[in-house]
Amino acid sequence: MFYVSVFFQYMAQYMKTKLQYRADLFVEFLSDLMFQSVNLIFILVVFGHTTLLHGWARDEMIFIYGFFLVPFALFGAFFNIWDFNERYIVRGEMDRVLTRPVHSLFQIILERMELESLVGGVTGMIIMGYASARLHLEFHWYDFFLFLLFALGGMLVYAGVFISLATISFWSDARSSIMPMMYNISNYGRYPIDIYNRVIRYILTWILPFAFVGVYPSAYFLGKKEWYGYAFLTPVIGLVFFMIAVMLWNKGVKRYRGAGN
Amino acid sequence: MDKYFEMIRIRFLMMLAYRTNYYTGILIYCINIGAYYFLWSAIYNGKSAIQGMSIEQMTTYVAVSWMARAFYFNNIDREIAMEIKEGKVAVELIRPYSYLGMKTMQGLGEGVFRLFFLSFPGLIITSLLFPLHFSSDIRTWGYFALSIMLSFVINSQLNLLAGVVTFFTLNNEGLLRAKRFVIDLFSGLILPISFYPHWAQEVMKYFPFQAISYIPSMIFTESFRGQAVINGLLFQLVWSIILLFPLQLLWKVAKKRLVVQGG
């Protein structure tokens, strides 16, 4: 209960600071929208020259991209740990975090919240709405809950991978570019998995499971029965990877010795 | 002239000190090229050619676009915006060189560095991973070299323009992001211009963006031949001259209006 109330207090505080600079916020929304449209335009232009991509139609591709935006937005809003190494380890900020009464990872999530990223999720839902209207998809009442479950699962996959990477800083404080590298790999999950060769497919399913952020869960809503098994695994994979990350984090924190002053 | 050459050299040496960052840079570029390689393979799926380009040409197009980007890409727009925000620009302006010229030379130093430490090794690695086709015609390489030089000029001019606008707006994060978006989409980096619908191609003829990535990559893959190569180079040349005018004009006004914050 304490965690929930702290969470909402931080959230309220965050909104207050952000709403002070409304023009900046507006610009940020607009530019996020633009960057999300780059991929959409890519899909639209490419399907001017082909009708099917390994059995996936244009609107199905659009749906996958729309779905992908939702867990990605949730991840962006709550797990901003790109600069964990510089911000917390090199500058010694971690010392302060450890004195707080909540779990250190939770404290960092609170501090680094970026709620404006959630707008990307709204965009995603609009894109999905457009695609499902064109595909005449039918939804049941429980699909809404599955959608939430899958979106959260996808978010946890992302969070798991990136928190695990952030914990590397506990062992080695050298700067590394592994985060941007992983970000580029994660883009692979936005496209149908069967366009890749077997090795990459395996990696995207079991090792860096970014396919569970886009294709697999979307396959359920698109009624692709052959992928249902994978689709329902989404929350499980998410939880497993997140738990591994938290375990690594706890181990890392024990090893942490302050740097700086 | 000497001092500008010196700036290129110093920036090059500065980058050299941090060269380990670039090994992962190569990997990142390979990952991106890989994603597009698989996408395009699925899109072609047995078709021998789309818009006159074979899958082999398309793969080469993607690889060379990314590697050329390493050369022409720079952050001088952000650097200028930063120096204005921090007030450093006041000191820069009293120094005995042209501020914009100095920025361009720094960008060139970075570009040359990345050409040697990212593009060349990167191109060799990608050619082992993916089926690329390199032209055996020496003239193609010559035209390509000329073309990416002009890409650098045009991209830098656009960056300088965006940077100088900061003199008026003081904070132009929005404009910088919008510019990046436009260049991502319309330079030809993610999609060759010839794939866009006809009306979009017509509109883009009146903008300089395709001079940045599309033209050099089309020359390299020999999708442009004969007169098309010359036309492409002329398009780049004309734009690199046209862009000088708004740049000079804006710079003149900007210097008069300069408000130093802090500093």
- The answer to whether residue A261 scores a pLDDT higher than 60 is no
Phi (first) and psi of residue A223, to 5 degrees: 70, 30
Query: Given CB atoms, is A196 within the 8 Å cutoff of chain B?
Result: yes
CB-CB neighbors (< 8 A) of B31 in chain A: 181, 184-185
A87-137 pLDDT tens trace: 888 888 888 899 999 999 999 999 999 888 899 999 999 999 999 999 999
Q: Please give the single-letter amino acid code of residue A120.
A: G
For residues B140 and B219, the answer to whether their CB atoms sit within 8 Å is yes
- Could you state, in order of their start, the residue ranges of all structural domains in chain A? 2-255
A27-83 pLDDT tens trace: 888 888 888 888 899 999 989 888 888 889 999 999 999 999 999 999 999 998 888
Tell me, what's the pLDDT at A179? 83
pLDDT in single tens digits along all 263 residues of chain B: 788 888 888 888 888 887 777 778 888 888 889 988 998 999 898 788 898 899 999 999 999 999 999 999 988 999 988 888 788 888 888 888 889 999 999 999 999 999 998 899 999 999 999 989 898 899 999 999 999 999 999 999 999 999 988 888 777 778 888 888 888 889 999 899 999 999 999 999 999 999 999 999 999 999 999 899 999 999 999 999 999 999 999 999 988 877 666 54
The answer to whether the CB atoms of B38 and A191 lie below 8 A apart is: yes
Mutation to test the A interface, candidates B31, B172, B175, B187, most A Cβ within 10 Å:
B31
The answer to whether the CB atoms of B181 and A35 lie below 8 A apart is: yes
The answer to whether the CB atoms of B185 and A41 lie below 8 A apart is: yes
Termini Cα distance of chain B = 29
Tell me, what's the pLDDT at A156? 96
- What ipTM goes with this model? 0.84
> How far apart, in whole angstroms, are the C-alpha atoms of residue A80 and residue A173?
18
Tell me, what's the pLDDT at A240? 97
pTM value?
0.88
Q: Among residues A136, A130, A117, which one has the least CA distance to residue A69? A: A117
Query: Cβ neighbours of residue A99 under 8 Å, at least 6 residues apart?
Result: none
Q: Please give the single-letter amino acid code of residue B43.
A: I
Tell me, what's the pLDDT at A58? 92
Phi (first) and psi of residue B30, to 5 degrees: -65, -40
Beta strands (DSSP E) in chain A are: 52-53, 56-57
Q: Please give the single-letter amino acid code of residue B260.
A: V
* Residues B36/B42/B46/B48 CA torsion (nearest 10 deg): -30
- For the record, the structure tokens of B139 come out as 């003239």
> How far apart, in whole angstroms, are the C-alpha atoms of residue A231 and residue B74?
42
Using CA of residue A183, residue A186, residue A191, residue A197, what is the dihedral sign? positive
Q: Among residues B202, B77, B197, B60, which one has the least CA distance to residue B123? A: B60
Tell me, what's the pLDDT at A116? 86
Tell me, what's the pLDDT at A245? 96
